[in-house]
Each structure stands twice: as C-alpha cells, then as structure tokens.
Structure 1
C-alpha cells in the first residue's frame, strides 16, 4: 500500500471513530418545569425526606448554588414515579430515603466548575475534600457536565425508622454526602463491612426501582434507561 493510501485509510478510520462518539447532550430551551416535563417528587410522596444541600450553604461550595432557588426535588416523570416506588417499598421495611439532590440545572454545574478554579479559602475543605486541593477536583469528582442535568439522576441516603415508621435516623454509610475520597466508592475497602452492607441495602432497593448506582459514589443513582439521554435542562429550581 502506498504512503498516500495508508494516510487516507488512517484518516477514514479516525473520522469513523470521531463520528461514533456520543454527542454532547443539547440544552433544552424550556424555561419552566412544566415545559421541561419536570415533576416535583413531593407531588407523588408529600412527606418524602428532603435535605436539598445546594439550596443552602450546607454543601462543598459553602453557599447556596446558582439555579437552586428552593429546596425542591424535580425529576422527569418516569424517574419521579420510579423513586416514589422505591420509597413505598422501603417504608414496608421501616426505612425511608433522604434526598440530597435531584435535577440539577446546567447553570449550577457551571458554578461548580467555577468554584474549582477559585482561590482556596479552606472553609469546606475538612468536611468535603480533606485529601485534595479544590482545583484538582475538576474531572474525577466534579464534571463539566452532569447526568443530574438530564433530570433522571438522584443523590440520596437511607434512614432507619422505628416500628411505627417514625423516629427515622440516617444509616451509617461511612461518609457524608459529597465526600470527595475513595472512601465514598460504593465497594471501598476503606469502609467497614457493615458500612458496605448498608450501602448495598440502598443499591438493591434502588435497583428494584430501575436505578443503577455510580460506583464512585454510594449515594448516586440514575434511572436506567434515562428518559432523555441526549437532553439537558437549565430551568431554575423554584
């Protein structure tokens, strides 16, 4: 084969590889939850436990995050209904979910990226990323795009309740939510056997509802398949 033909073959191969890569999801033009098809999970389970961290200062940025104007959990309807199913099944076992994050506007993700590039002030380092400098979190821990923006991903924990379904307390998972360390990996050998077992109670319960776990984070689950895998949303949470 001549050099020219070899170069042409390589070019065609590279072109084929490039076109086979999945396109980045487009951002929906929707400006309201209704236009985006987003559902408030509390419309399905009015008393589901919410601890929506990014609507408060209780998160790794140390401040309420742009796009979160209210502590509400929005998801696309198939994901919201699947999550409600998981909650109902857990209540039969005297357990409940605690939700930390649901749909995440694109602008919030952009704020996270900007935070990684800001000077370190140390305010949240000990609680969330003691082993890292914040600028190194971009990539492995904080992505420039997020599956949360496709509105079928949730971050949550598990509560153990008494026989009457009251007095619910968090089950020990080994880390807090959004703890940037390999200890937060679902099957981390740094966690105790009991903590890993607790994580798998949550993983199994969510799998029954159709959610898959992200193994880097015990709290992170995505509906499988996603309703709109090629669409992100930037509607503020209000």
Structure 2
C-alpha cells in the first residue's frame, strides 16, 4: 500500500509541475486540442527574418487557456467540413519582437526577405503597422493562423534552396504552406495581404471570409491588414517574455 501511495504522490506532483510550467494561465495548445495543425514559423528559418527568433526554443503553440478552448470549438466546427486550423504563431516572447526591431534596422535586405516585403522597405514595417515592438502576441491574446483542406494534397514542403516568387505570386510559385490558397503567403506585408483586398480571386476571398466567420463565432477579431491575424478581446493583459520550451509529454 505504501508503494502504491508513493507512486500516486509522484504522479500528482509530476502533473502539478507540468501544469505550473507555464505562467499567467498559459497552456500548450496540444494539451487542449492535438488535432489542430501547428507550423510555428518563428521557431524555424522559414520566416521573414530567415532564422528562428529569440525565445522560440520549440515549435509549440502556447496560448491562454480561454483562447485554447475557443480554438478547440472552432476546430470542432471545421472538422465536420474536412477542414482544420493551422497555427503559424501564438504566444510570442517579448524578446522576439525586439529581435524583429533589430532585424528591421540592420541595413540589409536579402532576396529571401524581399519575398515577404516585395514593395515595402523593411525599415517602414513598424511605421505602417505590420510589425509592433510591443505585440499583442506577448499577452496571449493574438494568433496567426490559416485553414487546411484535409482532402487536399498538402505534402509539398518548403525548400530553402528554391528561388520562390514573392508572397503575392500565384500559389504554385510562392513557398508552399500546406494550406488553402488565401491569395498571399503568411506574413505578406503587401496590400494584397489585407483581409478585404480587392485584387484577389473570388475563391481566395471566399476562403478568407470563411476563416473570419469561423473565428468570429468564437469571439475572435481579425486585423484588417493581415488576413491571418486574430485576437480575442479581453483575453490579454500584461506582456510576457518567457521562452517557448519543448512541451513535456
């Protein structure tokens, strides 16, 4: 009996340690809904900076619990339509935003970077509202995401050696994202990336509207300059800077 009680106590303490490993009511989205696809781009080199950002030590979506539960509800609705959410960014350590600031001021613009900013110099991205030195992502209230058609072939992978076209090009020419065609790639700082951009096709517009509607039914609000960016009013608060660590199973 003593051995059994010891095992149970160790299990309880381990569970508490896991539950307390994130501050401020944050949780790993996989612990709430493992069916939601994740492609946390700032933990990789496949982003506008071209390397992992400071604080991204794992490609895990971390969210406030309320946000996670609402995402789960969106996912359940989409599942009946053979669709899934795909997360590009969730909680963002404050140090990552400062990393973006330093990048914007380094005086260089590579060909790969220009794929994301085909018409706007990166020194202008903050002034125009595409990047913020203090991001809602750091409060846990903001998300970047898209839709995946689960019936489609989503097997194409990003190849850093490929000379892809910029983010406004037709879907077959720009880097693959394994998602529906929203008219631009993720993090595309161009007017075509504005949610209501008139220059996209009717089918692309329909996908954007479908995403906005599904998220809106759970209280999420879209940012008009970025079809992929959503926030949940009232879910934020103070900004955090804890790093994103690998999730413990």
Q: Shorter-normalised TM-score: what interval? A: 0.7 to 0.9
Aligned counterpart, 2:92: 104
CA drift at 1:136: 1.5
Task: Show CA shifts across 1:48-101 (max 9, x none).
Answer: 211100000000000110010000000111111111111111001111011100
Within 5 Å, give how 1:1-238 maps onto structure 2. 33-140=21-128, 141-162=130-151, 170-223=179-232, 225-229=233-237, 231-238=238-245
**How far apart are the structure 2 equivalents of 1:122 and 1:210?**
38
Contact 1:120 1:134 in 2 (8 A): no
**How far apart are the structure 1 equivalents of 2:23 and 2:113?**
38
Identify the structure with the greater helix proportion.
1
**How far apart are the structure 2 equivalents of 1:33 and 1:57?**
27
Larger C-alpha radius of gyration, 1 or 2?
A: 1
**How far apart are the structure 1 equivalents of 2:240 and 2:94?**
6
Contact 2:195 2:208 in 1 (8 A): yes
Gaps of 5+ in 2: 1-19, 155-177
Query: For 2:226, what is the secondary structure of its paired residue?
Result: coil
Q: What is the alpha-carbon root mean square deviation over aligned residues?
A: 1.5
| Misfit runs of 4+, over 3 Å | 166-169
Q: Comparing 205-214 with 126-135, which one deviates more in the overlay?
A: 126-135
Gaps of 5+ in 1: 1-31
Q: TM-score, normalised by structure 1?
A: 0.81
Q: Which has the higher contact order (CA 8 A, sep 6+)?
A: 1
Aligned counterpart, 1:28: none
Aligned counterpart, 1:5: none
Q: Comparing 186-195 with 171-180, which one deviates more in the overlay?
A: 186-195
